[in-house]
Structure 1
Amino acid sequence: MNVFELNATIKAVQEKDLDPETLKDTLESLELPRNEKLDNVASWIEENQMDADYYSKKAKDYEAEAKKYKNKNKYLMEFLTAAIDDSGQKEIRTENHILKPRNYKDAVVVEDTKKLPIDYIVTSEVVKPNKKLLYEDLKKGKSITGAHLKANRKTVIK
């Protein structure tokens, strides 16, 4: 086998999605000097690492972009709901949508975890507030230093 045929064979192996055992058998079956075979595998690993790094960066970029749009939608939803509430109507029909504000379960806002009574703290690896218990007691009207309920009102778009 000449150099071009070997390179083509290695390239063909790279392009296949083989399970680890088949890949190992295929690489072992290549008739190459050991150092040349190992050098090709090392180059392949480097290419794979570059691709992995590229896709990891792209994934982070896409995640950041998605977060930006989600935040923008949050503010747009607040505007939309406030505009409908200010109109005094329960429902607004536009040419393309039916807009109905509705109340969702209030959100628990914890201003400062350190100020919360110990009963409302969940301890594991990370100290965090027990929002379920906070919600239940705040909903009953109990005043808790360091937390309050925030109305969670959004508009259903049909």
Structure 2
Amino acid sequence: MNLFELNDIYRQLSQRDDLDPTTLIDSLKAIKDDREVKLENLATWADQLKSEIGFLEEKQKLFRGELTYRRNKLRWIKQYITDVMDDAGIKKIQTDNHLLSTRNFKASTVVDDVDKLPSELVTEEVTIKPDKKGIYDRLKEGDEVPGAHLEPNRNVVIK
């Protein structure tokens, strides 16, 4: 198999989203390729995936911001319509495309100062969180920490 054919196989694998980890590993093992060439192709694929992840994370951040902006804009527009109708004393109005009516919904609870609330109306939440750094330090020193252990974390660095 020539280099062009091998590169094409890696390209095809990289474009398959239906492969589970076991099938992917089996497919990679089946490629009869020089170890260095195989690792080069895999490192290139890893670079591509890192780039795609960064792109998607950035898009996700932009979409979250856009979603928040549009939700707020909808809230502002609906509040403006409500204010206009209330100011005019209109409870219902039919336009060419919409039927607008105001109505009272369940009132929103606003807490101005938690410290001033009666104790029976306040619940306290306690969060139990392990001190991972402290646990790591003790385990690294050779101490035994019941309920915890160190797990090897070995991976490749691609530059």
Deviations, residues 13-48 of structure 1 (Å, cap 9, x unaligned)? 111121111100000011111222122212211211
Task: Calculate the aligned-residue CA RMSD, in Å.
Answer: 1.5
Structure-2 residue corresponding to 1:77: 78
Deviations, residues 86-137 of structure 1 (Å, cap 9, x unaligned)? 11122111121111001110000112223323322222247xxxxxxxxxxx
Correspondence list, 1:80-91, <5 A = 80-91=81-92
Structure-2 residue corresponding to 1:95: 96
Structure-2 residue corresponding to 1:20: 21
Deviates more, 1:114-123 or 1:37-46: 114-123
Change (3 A) 1:121 1:35: farther
Normalised TM-score (structure 2):
0.73
The alpha carbon displacement at 1:7 in A equals 0.5
Q: Return the letter of the residue paired with 1:41.
A: L
Structure 1 counterpart SS, 2:45: helix
Structure 1 ranges of 4+ moved more than 6 A: none
Structure-2 residue corresponding to 1:56: 57
Segments of structure 1 that go 5 or more residues without pairing to the other structure are 127-158
Deviates more, 1:107-116 or 1:42-51: 107-116
Relative contact order, higher structure (CA 8 A, sep 6+): 1
Correspondence list, 1:117-128, <5 A = 117-125=118-126
Correspondence list, 1:97-112, <5 A = 97-112=98-113
More strand by share: 1
Correspondence list, 1:9-48, <5 A = 9-17=9-17, 18-48=19-49
**Is it true that 1:4 corresponds to 2:12 in the alignment?**
no
Normalised TM-score (structure 1):
0.74
Deviates more, 1:39-48 or 1:109-118: 109-118
Aligned length: 126
Partners of 1:119 and 1:41 in 2: how far apart? Answer: 60
